[in-house]
Amino acid sequence: MRVIATAIFFATNLLGFALFAWPLILPADVLILSNLSDATWLAAALAALAVVMIAAQISARLLDSKSVAIVAILVALIAALRLMGAGAVGLEPMWFLLILAARAFGSQLGYAIALLSMLVSALFTGGVGPWLPFQIFAAGWIAIGAALVPRSLSNKFEVLALALYGAVAAFLFGLLMDLQLWPWLLGTDTQLSFQPGGSVAENLSRFITFHFATALAWDLPRALLTFTLILLTGRAVLNSLNRAKQRLGWQSTPLRASERATEQMGA
């Protein structure tokens, strides 16, 4: 079952790459997620895949019922934090907790938490639209990146590294959101418009110019807020999450924990 979770993890990421990159690599007559129905079905499918990933880890004895409860709490908290930033220019406090959760629980579980959090928050705010699958993938990739920050750092430098990563990730989220929006926003008759049939270099140049001309007002507040929240709360939140993992025997020695429980029951 762990193999199934890993296969789903890589397959969904390949799909996400194709969705974001299609204006640059696919023929001009190919339209991806051009209407609400397509986006809604894809978002639902991604949520189902995230649940399957978690279920596969339960079957592989990497998670138990208490661990799933913690995942559910994190999903609810991240979704609630996203609601707090709804409508504010780039002020999205959800990212600090998503990054710290992914750091504590690893890339695959962090990815699943990100997918479910974005979907839950969108359902509560009515934010289901063609943009939602792109937001889900971008959040998942940010979670993966947090898990990949080197673990050999001391406690002090780990938090600083995560805070810096959070700032970079905030800019990355803005860039990815602009990439999915750009082909539809400007039409085809401006100097910054997507050019169907144009070369990759030409369209990439137009997109980069468009992004930096429009995004800083949103990306900079998001980056500053994420950096500050991780720097101030990162050590305490990570310690709490790591203590929860240790008490549950989470992932590091799942089979041994199960064997200990069996021995205790027998005694």
Q: What is the largest CA-CA distance in the chain?
A: 77
pLDDT at 256 over 50: no
Q: Which residues contact 214 (CB under 8 A, 6 or more apart)?
A: 178
DSSP of 195-232: -TT--HHHHHHHHHHHHHHHSHHHHHHHHHHHHHHHHH
Higher pLDDT, 194 or 228: 228
Q: Compute the mean pLDDT over every residue in the chain, rounded to the nearest whole number.
A: 77
Measured between alpha carbons, how far is 9 from 183 in angstroms, rounded to an integer?
28
Question: Which pLDDT score is estimated for 13?
Answer: 78
Residue whose entry in the numeric block shows the structure tokens 């959070």: 166
pTM of the model: 0.78
Higher pLDDT, 217 or 33: 217
CA angle in degrees (0–180, nearest 5) for 52-55-58: 155
Q: Which residues contact 217 (CB under 8 A, 6 or more apart)?
A: 89, 90
Region of poorest pLDDT, from 20-29, 105-114, 255-264: 255-264
Segment 178-189 mean pLDDT:
72
pLDDT tens track for 145-155: 999 999 888 88
For the ranges 89-93, 123-127, 220-224, the one whose mean pLDDT is highest? 220-224
pLDDT tens track for 14-59: 777 777 776 666 554 554 555 545 556 666 676 677 667 666 666 6
Spatial contact of 102 and 136, defined as CB atoms under 8 Å apart: no
Per-residue pLDDT band at 187 (split at 50, 70, 90): low
Q: How distant, in Å, are the alpha carbons of 33, 116, 169, 244 from that of 234?
A: 37, 22, 16, 15
Measured between alpha carbons, how far is 31 from 183 in angstroms, rounded to an integer?
10
Segment 66-79 mean pLDDT:
87
pLDDT at 96 over 90: yes
